Structure 1
Amino acid sequence: MNDDDRAEQFIQLLAQHERRLAAYVITFVPRSADADDILQETKLALWRSFDQFEIGTNFGAWARQAALHRIFDFRRRKGRESKHLVFSDACLEQLADAFEQDVHNRETQMERLSGCVAKLSPNHRQILSLRYGEELPVQDVADRIDRTVTATYRVLSRIRLALRDCVCGTGDNVMPASEPTP
């Protein structure tokens, strides 16, 4: 892999995981200015060690591990300045482990949700896309699908319930019951 390809791949992976990485850091560091500094240090460390990252493995987990090391470094520096640190390093490690487990659970749920959405009728997928993909207000969705606002709220509610049942494994069919297609 040449340097340009390597840089492009890094930027792409970082862009995909940046918001979650920032949320991870802010979870452990209360002041946003400190969290921003740690996040920048983490990104720099990730770039410097990107040649050690194995493409195809979990970039998010790798990035969070690097961030956790920066958080520990920050805490050690702050610990010398102040005795007001609330959590021990062991406690932070347990929280980080719980966070990783939660990430795995969310990823599994997202995979299930994608599969359930794929089972919806094209009309229902369009309604979801308009409302949540394009983030249109329900009034605009209703106008686009030629339904009343009340009917649009009703179909959205039924679709969400069907998707919830599908993701949780309690529903056999993701088609909302007795819902006419537009």
Structure 2
Amino acid sequence: MEAPNEHDRGPLGKLPEGEFMRLFIKHEPALRAFARSILPDWHLVDDTLQEASVTMWEKLGQLHDEAGFLPWAKVIVRFKCLSAVDKLRRDRHVLSQQVLELIADEAEAMDAEQYVAIRNALSQCLTQFSPPHRELLLAPYAGDGRVKQIAEQGSKSVNALYKLLGRLRQKLASCIRGQLLPEMS
């Protein structure tokens, strides 16, 4: 697709609104996964991505071509995520800025196809676990205290569930690696 001419651009020299929306929607899953690699929960990802999309629209004049959209957008999302984490620090313990920067660097290097492949492998591998084991695997991401709630509902201690969770995560990681290896060959 050709880059729009200057007269095709929207207000303030930006790409037309429809073109921006098309690019944003196309890359939203990769941006959402990138943000989640930095942020502790999906609600914060939603809020941060919304804030980042406004900034992207405001700074769209900096984008030179369609192919550069995802790397450019990841930089904006990264700064919005790190800003959101700074706000969280005031309320509770979070990972250090240096650790978050390392995570962001690694996640930023991944392209959209890698995110899709990982998400598909995760979905496929989760189906291989029993419903109670799937629930336990997802519990830490469902909110504070979910593992404790599961322990209270069952007959195992919280400590025993965390040990089981560790073993289940190892099996899940192994399955995901097995699903991804054929694609990387």
Range class of TM-score, shorter chain: 0.5 to 0.7
Alpha-carbon RMSD? 2.6
The answer to whether the aligner puts 1:44 opposite 2:54 as a matched pair is yes
CA distance in 2, matches of 1:63, 1:96: 13
The aligned counterpart of 1:15 is 25
CA distance in 2, matches of 1:75, 1:106: 25
The answer to whether the aligner puts 1:93 opposite 2:101 as a matched pair is yes
Partner of residue 10 from structure 2, selected from 3, 23, 26: 3
Alpha-carbon shift at residue 6 of structure 1 (Å): 2.1
CA distance in 1, matches of 2:112, 2:33: 16
Gaps of 5+ in 2: 1-5, 118-181
Q: TM-score, normalised by structure 1?
A: 0.53
The size of the alignment, in residue pairs, is 110
What is the one-letter code of the residue matched to 2:106? A
Larger radius of gyration: 1
Change over 3 Å in CA distance of 1:105–1:20 after alignment to 2: closer
Secondary structure of 1:25's aligned partner: helix
Aligned residues of 2:39 and 2:81 also touching (Cα < 8 A): yes
Alpha-carbon shift at residue 68 of structure 1 (Å): 0.9
Secondary structure of 2:40's aligned partner: coil
Alpha-carbon shift at residue 41 of structure 1 (Å): 0.4
CA distance in 2, matches of 1:17, 1:105: 10
Q: What do residues 35-68 of structure 1 show as CA deviations (whole Å, max 9, x unaligned)?
A: 1110100111111111111114421111111111
Q: TM-score, normalised by structure 2?
A: 0.52
Alpha-carbon shift at residue 70 of structure 1 (Å): 0.7
Gaps of 5+ in 1: 110-163, 169-182
Q: What do residues 21-45 of structure 1 show as CA deviations (whole Å, max 9, x unaligned)?
A: 1111122212221111101001111
CA distance in 2, matches of 1:46, 1:65: 10
CA distance in 2, matches of 1:47, 1:105: 24
CA distance in 2, matches of 1:14, 1:29: 20
CA distance in 2, matches of 1:21, 1:100: 9
- Percent identity reads 23
Alpha-carbon shift at residue 94 of structure 1 (Å): 1.2
CA distance in 1, matches of 2:113, 2:103: 15
The aligned counterpart of 2:42 is 32
Alpha-carbon shift at residue 103 of structure 1 (Å): 2.4
Higher relative contact order (CA 8 A, sep 6+): 2
